[in-house]
Chains A and B, each alone.
Chain A
Amino acid sequence: MKPKITKLETFQEMELKDKLASSFLAFENQIDIDSYVHDIRSEAFKTFEDKGFPSKKEEAWKYTSLNSILKEDYSVFPKQENALTYPDVKKYFIHEIDSYKIVFIDGKYSSHLSQTTHEGIDVCLMSSALNKPKYRLIIENYFNKAATNDSLPSLNTAFSNEGAYIHIPKNKLVEKPIQIIHFSTGSEAAQLLQPRNLIVVDENSHVQIIERHQSLTDNPVLTNSVTEIFGRKRAIVDYYKIQNDNLNASLIDNTFIDQKQNSHISVHTFSFGGKLTRNNLNFYQNGERIDSTLKGITIIGDKQHVDHSTLVHHIEPNCESHQDYKGIFGDKATGVFNGKVVVEKEAQRTNAFQANNNILLNDKATINTKPQLEIFADDVKCSHGCTIGQLDESAMFYLRSRGIPEKEAKALLMYAFANNVLESVKIPEIKQRINKIIANKLGVNIGFDL
């Protein structure tokens, strides 16, 4: 038996844990205890209580401390319902395209801002999927089947009740992208949100999803989100995470992707905002000839922190994975890239690529980048490379000598450094939006479009 690890918790952590425990009791009292997920939730809460919040002592959290965000006195459930009008929040949508929308305000579904469907596909709510008998089979087959029992996913599972539920039956090409947006209005002094998304894409189907979390005030928000994505044979899923939240909002994103043979799933993560962002992105390849793509652009400054912790688990032969993360860190920003690739013994002829390139704009910004390769098969092609550099001075002089001012020249070079990540973005309006966010972020008014 392993000795139980006792760990030191801060006073604030203990307080928050107590609060979560009493909230969990209250939550359980309100919901149907005969529900299939009831036991899963109870089990998950126990797991969370045992494990507690992750600490820097754990290898996976060595460079990301939650101390500064766990000290807030978060409300677990919002006390009132809040409304927003579309014009107020239109700018947070990719509004140039026709799309399905699943929108939440302070964790509660907003039918007013949403556009869901049951015509041929299900684009709707987790709360109804958990409660209505017709979804029971999918829930039993998929809910919590990909998520790990690490402490934060467990905490989310314990409180799982609301989020997006997307089921695309086989042979459907979903023309309209689906936007999942979570707003927080700041009606609570500090708010904890735990959205839970389930996305099941059956054989030969194709769907595109855009996810965003947006706080509308300076009140602290902590989002601990879990998304499970299942791609069946030949499914194609393109997922875009646009992270440009304000500086008091933190996000722990736990995404688990289970792929079957010949499926292609890509996740692009654009991280520009937020106080602390941790992206736990996990791919499990349960079939042959699978393609997994993980790409990201991170541009942060101030005291922002963005941590990309990726896992690609190559389990079967003839699969590929492509990782390409670009990071630019200014001011006192800190970044982490922890990319783990596991190639099992059976997973012969795996091609696994990983690149993480970073620019530090000054000597106060830091990046910790660490590839972790665990390769048990012998016939594999794996490459990984990480670089940390500065902006090229001779390129700066070249641009400036043509009349491009320092700030704009820097912005052009940063954009040029990062933009190949955008090449695989299939929705032009997303590219344009990212370009615009980058221009805003860098304080310039130049068109980056080539």
Chain B
Amino acid sequence: MLKIDNLHASVEDKAILRGINLEVKAGEVHAIMGPNGSGKSTLASVIAGKEEYEVQDGEIILEGENIDELAAEERAHKGIFLSFQYPVEIPGVSVTNFMKTAINETRKARGLEDMPAKDMLKMIREKSELLEIDRKFLSRSLNEGFSGGEKKRNEIFQMAMLEPKLAILDETDSGLDIDALRIVANGVNKLKSKDNAVVVITHYQRLLDYIVPDYVHVLYNGRIVKSGTKELAKELEEKGYDWIKEEVNA
């Protein structure tokens, strides 16, 4: 599904990603862990097409196609979804209107008609129930005044609405209490299938108890320095990152 080959990216001449290699196949769940500032969010943003970052070298291949030249919206149309670490507050645009616009623009790009209003409402109802989101929420301005947890839940609601092929969840668990974590993880698991894939960026094992990864990678200083199975996440939880840093620096 996704193949990243020797990816180098920088911002304002500062190198952040320094040769990332990663392959994610359909049906898989990958976890990316690593110390703060190591480049996890940058990797997520570069995959999603944030123009601020300059890709100097390497390739991002989605289902056999190099997506390097594609705009963020075109990547979304191809099925990439990023759950933001810090969702942006947009006063004046309601959650519902935003979702309608996003879905219909995506459909348009895929050569489909607008979704009939009735179907849209039904889908909004179903997905908001799945994530236990209060209906009142949906007429509020996007993320404006939402608590940290509400923002994250809203991200996964959007994911549920857009049904992406590749979802990247950037610290979706931070700011969630244990109940919200369960709801969000349950939502993600419901959307999982053999045809899509999930990349989970997290610091904590507790999310991985719910969304069980097939592979765990450690990103440090712009490179994936270690990969393993879910056991690696447990080890990191116990021992922290220092031993990895030592290994790398040795």
**In the A-B complex, the 9 residue pairs with the closest CB atoms:** A416-B92, A403-B76, A403-B106, A400-B72, A402-B102, A398-B88, A450-B94, A400-B73, A416-B93
29 A–B contacts, CB within 8 A, in A order: A392-B88, A393-B52, A394-B88, A397-B48, A397-B50, A397-B72, A397-B88, A398-B84, A398-B90, A399-B98, A401-B49, A401-B72, A401-B75, A401-B82, A401-B84, A402-B158, A404-B102, A405-B105, A412-B98, A416-B91, A416-B92, A416-B93, A417-B92, A419-B92, A446-B104, A447-B97, A449-B97, A450-B96, A450-B97
Please state if B49 and A413 are interface contacts (CB–CB under 8 Å): no
Please state if B92 and A402 are interface contacts (CB–CB under 8 Å): no
Number of A-B contacts (CB under 8 A): 89
Q: Is B212 an interface residue (CB 8 A)?
A: no
Please state if B109 and A395 are interface contacts (CB–CB under 8 Å): no
Residues of A within 8 A of B91 (CB): 416
> For the complex, what is the distance from the CA of A448 to the CA of B98, rounded to whole Å?
9
**Chain B residue at minimal CB-CB distance from A420:** B92
Q: Is B101 an interface residue (CB 8 A)?
A: yes
Q: Is B35 an interface residue (CB 8 A)?
A: no
Q: Is B139 an interface residue (CB 8 A)?
A: yes
* Known pairs A400-B71, A420-B92; A450 contacts B106 (CB<8 A): no
Q: Which residues of B contact A (CB under 8 A)?
A: 45, 48-52, 71-73, 75-77, 81-82, 84, 87-88, 90-94, 96-98, 100-106, 109, 139, 141, 158, 162
Please state if B71 and A408 are interface contacts (CB–CB under 8 Å): no
Please state if B101 and A395 are interface contacts (CB–CB under 8 Å): no
Residues of A within 8 A of B162 (CB): 402-403
Please state if A400 and B76 are interface contacts (CB–CB under 8 Å): yes
Q: Output the least CB separation between B167 and chain A (Å).
A: 12
> For the complex, what is the distance from the CA of A250 to the CA of B73, rounded to whole Å?
39
Residues of A within 8 A of B90 (CB): 395, 398-399, 413, 416
> For the complex, what is the distance from the CA of A419 to the CA of B141, rounded to whole Å?
12
Please state if B105 and A404 are interface contacts (CB–CB under 8 Å): yes
Q: Is A374 an interface residue (CB 8 A)?
A: no
Residues of B within 8 A of A379 (CB): none
Please state if B139 and A450 are interface contacts (CB–CB under 8 Å): yes
Please state if B73 and A405 are interface contacts (CB–CB under 8 Å): yes
> For the complex, what is the distance from the CA of A393 to the CA of B45, rounded to whole Å?
13
Q: Is A353 an interface residue (CB 8 A)?
A: no
Residues of B within 8 A of A409 (CB): 73
Cβ-defined partner of A446 (8 Å) among B82, B94, B101: B101
Residues of B within 8 A of A405 (CB): 71, 73, 105, 109
Residues of B within 8 A of A447 (CB): 97, 100
> For the complex, what is the distance from the CA of A417 to the CA of B93, rounded to whole Å?
9
> For the complex, what is the distance from the CA of A398 to the CA of B82, rounded to whole Å?
9
**Chain A residue at minimal CB-CB distance from B79:** A403
**Chain A residue at minimal CB-CB distance from B141:** A416
Please state if A406 and B73 are interface contacts (CB–CB under 8 Å): yes
Q: Is A53 an interface residue (CB 8 A)?
A: no
Please state if B101 and A412 are interface contacts (CB–CB under 8 Å): yes
Q: Output the least CB separation between A129 and chain B (Å).
A: 43
Q: Is A135 an interface residue (CB 8 A)?
A: no
Residues of A within 8 A of B97 (CB): 447-450
Which residue, A394, A395, A448, A450, has most C-beta atoms of chain B within 10 A? A450
Q: Output the least CB separation between B161 and chain A (Å).
A: 9
Cβ-defined partner of A403 (8 Å) among B52, B84, B93, B102: B102
Q: Is A415 an interface residue (CB 8 A)?
A: yes
> For the complex, what is the distance from the CA of A392 to the CA of B143, rounded to whole Å?
15
Residues of B within 8 A of A420 (CB): 92
Cβ-defined partner of B49 (8 Å) among A394, A400, A408, A419: A400
> For the complex, what is the distance from the CA of A412 to the CA of B76, rounded to whole Å?
18
> For the complex, what is the distance from the CA of A406 to the CA of B71, rounded to whole Å?
9
**Chain A residue at minimal CB-CB distance from B107:** A403
Residues of A within 8 A of B50 (CB): 397, 401
Residues of A within 8 A of B87 (CB): 398
> For the complex, what is the distance from the CA of A393 to the CA of B84, rounded to whole Å?
15
Interface code A372-414, partner B: CB below 8 Å = 1, 0 otherwise? 0000000000000000000011110111111111101100110
> For the complex, what is the distance from the CA of A394 to the CA of B87, rounded to whole Å?
9
> For the complex, what is the distance from the CA of A402 to the CA of B139, rounded to whole Å?
18
Q: Output the least CB separation between A285 and chain B (Å).
A: 31
> For the complex, what is the distance from the CA of A8 to the CA of B76, rounded to whole Å?
60
Q: Output the least CB separation between B2 and chain A (Å).
A: 16
**Chain A residue at minimal CB-CB distance from B94:** A450
Given contacts A404-B102, A412-B101, A420-B92, 7 further A-B contacts (CB under 8 A): A397-B51, A397-B88, A400-B73, A402-B98, A416-B91, A419-B92, A447-B100
> For the complex, what is the distance from the CA of A415 to the CA of B141, rounded to whole Å?
13
Residues of A within 8 A of B103 (CB): 403
Q: Output the least CB separation between A385 and chain B (Å).
A: 16
> For the complex, what is the distance from the CA of A400 to the CA of B102, rounded to whole Å?
9
Q: Output the least CB separation between B213 and chain A (Å).
A: 23
